[in-house]
Structure 1
Amino acid sequence: MYSAYRKIFRAPGALGFSSAGFFARLPIAMAPIGIVAMLSQTSGEYWLAGAVSATFALTNALLSPQISRLVDRKGQTAVLLPTTVVSVIAFAALIFAANRDWPAWTFFLSALFAATMPSMPAMLRARWTEIFRGRPELNTAFAFESAADELVYIAGASLSVGLAVSLFPEAGMVASTGFLALGTSAFLVQRGTEPKVRVVKEGIRQGSAIWLRPVQIITLALIFVGSTFATAEVSAVAITKELGRPDTASLVIGVYATGSFIVGLILGALNPKMALQRQLLIALTVLALTALPLLVASSSVALLAAAVFFSGIAISPVFITAFGLIERRVPEAMLTEGVTWVMTGVGIGMAFGAFLSGWVVDTFGPSNGFWVSVFASAAAWVTVAVAQNTLAGERASSPELAPTS
């Protein structure tokens, strides 16, 4: 397994941009929970902290595809530099406003501007694609990125909350902002691996990637998949609290991501030859089947942790094959935007999943929250199953393109 990953990092510049990108994307996990940890302590109002965090997360979900579309047209450096500067300044303003107890509207305004934070996972996958387009190593690279995403979510949220609680309320957000600024800077100075811009010839209009059927199908499927993430978190917190062990919630959530992390690394090393749309359907089948034991796993923390571990093993395979399909079915000039739309789908799913599972827990009890995972994973399976022929098609037709240096 080690040799497969060693091979992709032999490519010139791969280790450098991947390392920088890992730190640059930590704010994806650190910022939303960091805002809650910071404002809940400085203002004492959880509703305000949650509202500001939701404002940032939802605005970022809407802006990210548009920023990535500009990246496809103008290049990573030209777009990421100004958007990151705006985001860093806005985060700094939010931290200062919280520290100085400024009016609540300043929190929301800062969160809106901070949402210009670009989608670093999409930028990383675009660079890997530029290096390994059409080669089997690309699947291994995507597997590594999916595993890295899991690691970010395991470590990022815990780090953000831990700093805010152990040091001072703004500590998590200070660290998150620092990672964004320094990580993105280190990423952008590595121009040798930056994807070339493929310019649409004059007189030909280029639409958005979201109008392509494969992007719509995969984004919809991952909205359902994303909802299973939030359901696992909400239900784990509710069940462990009911069991009188609220301190074990973070452990259970960490186990969920750990299973996905391990299987993702193994799948990337094996690099199966089966058609990607079939691999995605199989991964979603596993996701749906492993959701069922969650319904009877609320009697003990150990049983819950075991069921959650197995329910997470299909997450990375879903991501790996989904992004692989995007790379193969979306025109090269729309790749970054296409990947970002799929990630936006995950974010939307997490938002809806958190709301719906919270309502189910409040209405029917903690043990029933996982029904959202069962229905969501089944819906994702149906979405991909009925679209197998579409996903098996050729790369979507694109406007005539001319690469630029």
Structure 2
Amino acid sequence: MPPRALLPSYRRLFSAPGATAFTLAGLLGRLALSMSGVSLVVLLTERRGSYALAGTVAAAGLVSASIGIPLVGRLVDRYGQARVTVPTTLYLLVPLTALLLCVRLGAPDWTLYLCWASGAAGPNLGGMARARWAHLYRDDPGARHLANSLEQSLDELCFMSGPVLGMLLCTTFAPEAGLITAAVLGSTGGLLFAAQRRTEPPLPEAPSREERRSGSPLRVPGLRVLVLTFLATGMIFGATDITTVAYAEALGHKPAAGLLLGLIAGGSCVAGLAFGLLTPRRAPSVRFLTGAASMAAVLLLPLAAGLGRVGLVPLGAALFAAGTATAPTMVTGMSLIQELVPQRQLNEAMAVAVSGIVVGISAGAALAGTITEHTAPGTGYTLPACAAALALLVALTGRRHLRTPGRRETPEPIVSASV
């Protein structure tokens, strides 16, 4: 996609006052989140000398986040983004500081689990940014599609750069440097995001008695289908990460694993930006099924490369290609959430979707670790391929719940292309 077509198309999003400010603030917060995991692992392996401890502490945080993020999202829907983001952002500094002190003072291992789990659930800035775009362009489906594509690409950009930045800080300065920087970036980004009040979606009118009884947004059948699909997608991420590191190590090039994983995120980032420029002409449910089918197809490429014991270059090409199907699927899934779930529950619904991905990453990493220990290098790529097939099966089974009747399916043209 030529830059002269790319930049003007995305520039139109930022014509809304305040859009640039909340996007950059949210980017800071997401960068902090993406560098926290690797920074924690480096800190604990350096100061405590145990990969097992680092892995289980990180897993405890993922479990806590999968529960806490939707709860924070529910508070956001009830009280507003700024009123929830400011106190939760400031609160997260407390358990993080406590963790650093416990590591420094040699506190018992259980204190590390307690601190990391207590600070794992923060405001979902990515979901709140998408909610702002949905409000700003509530009457422009084409712009919403473009904005969702941009947000997914920004997520991938953070996933590429965050771990690299965290590793660089921890190895160049001190093992604590990564988490300290993440704390500064995360708190700055969260507070700046909350300060952008003019783009904050207004609170919906007080719900009726019947609406209050509706409870969790998971009562919406379509959201359940999407969450299960995202859970399988998270398994793809977690399993691919572990398998790729093990495969690179088996070839004697473990440092290259970071580059290989960056290629996956790079493929997804490029695909997300390009996908945003296309004019969707099919129903969102059809596009979601197409994306899931594409994921199932391209995940066969790393599997073939791994089983064929190829070198790093062809494996990198296969991983880049595998990443290209992820962003369009995720973009369409987030768009479907905006269509299927009532506006008053949008933040909680997006947080639930993120929790599904988090749980999937944790499960995929654990399963891939077991497979890697007991099989030949590259065999672990079977798990991402199976997870992609599972995502497609779930989407096919629940496809009738993904339909959005009464909506105009064809947005205003952005460029003359079609999906």
TM-score, normalized by length of structure 2? 0.92
Please tell me the residue identity of whatever aligns with 1:208: S
Deviates more, 1:115-124 or 1:70-79: 115-124
Q: CA deviation at 1:296?
A: 2.4
Query: CA deviation digits over 1:101-125, x for unaligned, max 9?
Result: 2222321221122123121111111
Residue type of the alignment partner of 2:170: A
1:1-49 Cα deviation digits (max 9, x unpaired): 2211000011110000000000012232112221111111111122222
- Cα 1:395/1:382, change in 2 over 3 Å: farther
Q: Which residue of 2 aligns with 1:286?
A: 294
Tell me which residue corresponds to 1:308: 319
1:2 aligns with 2:7: yes
Aligned runs of 1:343-358 on 2, under 5 Å?
343-358=354-369
**Which segment is superposed worse, 146-155 or 366-375?**
366-375
CA distance 1:232–1:395, shift in 2 (3 Å) = farther
Indicate which of 180, 187, 194 corresponds to 2:193. Answer: 187
Matches of 1:292 and 1:244, distance apart in 2:
24
Matched, 1:176 2:182: yes
Percentage of matched positions with identical amino acids = 30
| 1:220 pairs with 2:228 | yes
Say whether 1:334 aligns with 2:345.
yes
Aligned partners of 2:147, 2:83: CA distance in 1, in Å? 25
Offset from partner CA, 1:230-257 (integer Å, 9 cap, x none): 1211111111111111121111111111
Selected match of 1:147 from 148, 153, 158: 153
Q: Please give the alpha-carbon distance, in whole angstroms, between the structure 2 residues aligned to 1:51 and 1:395.
A: 47
SS in 1 for 2:106: coil
Which residue type is aligned with residue 251 of structure 2?
Answer: L
* Match in the other structure for 2:249: 241
SS in 1 for 2:347: helix
The alpha-carbon distance between structure 1 residues 357 and 116, as it changes in their structure 2 partners (threshold 3 A), is: closer
Q: Distance in 1 between matches of 2:145 and 2:17?
A: 18
Query: Cα deviation per residue 1:181-217 (whole Å; 9 max; x = unaligned)?
Result: 1111111111101111114346442411122111100
Aligned match for 2:43, one of 38, 44, 48: 38
Residue pairs, 1:108-127, within 5 angstroms: 108-127=113-132
Superposed displacement of residue 366, structure 1: 1.8
Is residue 2:144 matched to residue 1:133?
A: no
Deviation (angstroms), 1:96: 2.1
Match of 2:109 in 1: 104
Q: Does 1:92 align with 2:97?
A: yes
What secondary structure sits across from 2:215 in the alignment?
A: coil
Partner of 1:53: 58
Contact 1:32–1:56, Cα closer than 8 Å, also in 2: no
Does structure 1 conserve the Cα–Cα contact (< 8 Å) formed by 2:89 and 2:191? no
| Aligned mates of 1:32, 1:252 — CA distance in 2 | 18
Letter in 2 for 1:279: R
Distance (whole Å) between structure 1 residues aligned to residue 115 and residue 204 of structure 2: 34
> How many residues are paired up?
396
Distance in 1 between residues matched to 2:232 and 2:121, nearest whole Å: 25
Distance, in Å, in 2 between the alignment partners of 1:395 and 1:155 is 41
Whole-angstrom distance in 1 between the partners of 2:144 and 2:209? 33
Q: Report how far residue 60 of structure 1 moved.
A: 1.1
Amino acid at match of 2:327: S
What secondary structure is seen at the aligned counterpart in 1 of 2:174?
Answer: coil
In structure 1, list runs of 5 or more residues that go unmatched: 397-405
Pick one of 9, 18, 25 that aligns with 1:13.
Answer: 18
1:331–1:395 contact (8 Å) kept in structure 2: no
8 Å contact kept, 2:146–2:276: yes
Deviation, 1:85, is 1.4
Aligned equivalent of 1:402: none
Counterpart contact for 1:88–1:180, Cα < 8 Å: no
Partner secondary structure for residue 271 of structure 1: coil
**Structure 1 CA distance for aligned equivalents of residues 144 and 123 of structure 2:** 22
Matched AA of 1:343: V
Contact 1:56/1:111 (8 A) holds in 2: yes
Cross-structure match for 1:399: none
CA distance in 2, matches of 1:109, 1:293: 41
Match in the other structure for 2:397: 386
How much is the aligned-residue C-alpha RMSD, in angstroms? 1.5
Mapped to 1, the partners of 2:138 and 2:397 lie a distance apart of 28
* Aligned AA (2:181): A
**Preserved CA contact (<8 Å) 1:234 1:354:** yes
C-alpha separation between the residues in 2 aligned to 1:279 and 1:102?
Answer: 51
User: Which amino acid is 2:281 matched to?
Assistant: K
Q: Deviations over 1:287-307 (max 9, x none)?
A: 111111222213211111011
Structure 2: which 5+ residue stretches go unaligned? 1-5, 408-419
Q: Residue in 1 aligned with 2:269? A: 261
Tell me how far apart the structure 2 counterparts of residues 48 and 341 of structure 1 sit (CA, whole Å).
28
Q: CA deviation at 1:221?
A: 0.5
- Cα 1:354–1:201 shift into 2, 3 Å: closer
Query: CA offset at residue 395 of structure 1?
Result: 8.2
How far apart, CA to CA, are the structure 2 residues paired with 1:341 and 1:395? 25
Cα distance in 1 for partners of 2:391, 2:272 equals 19
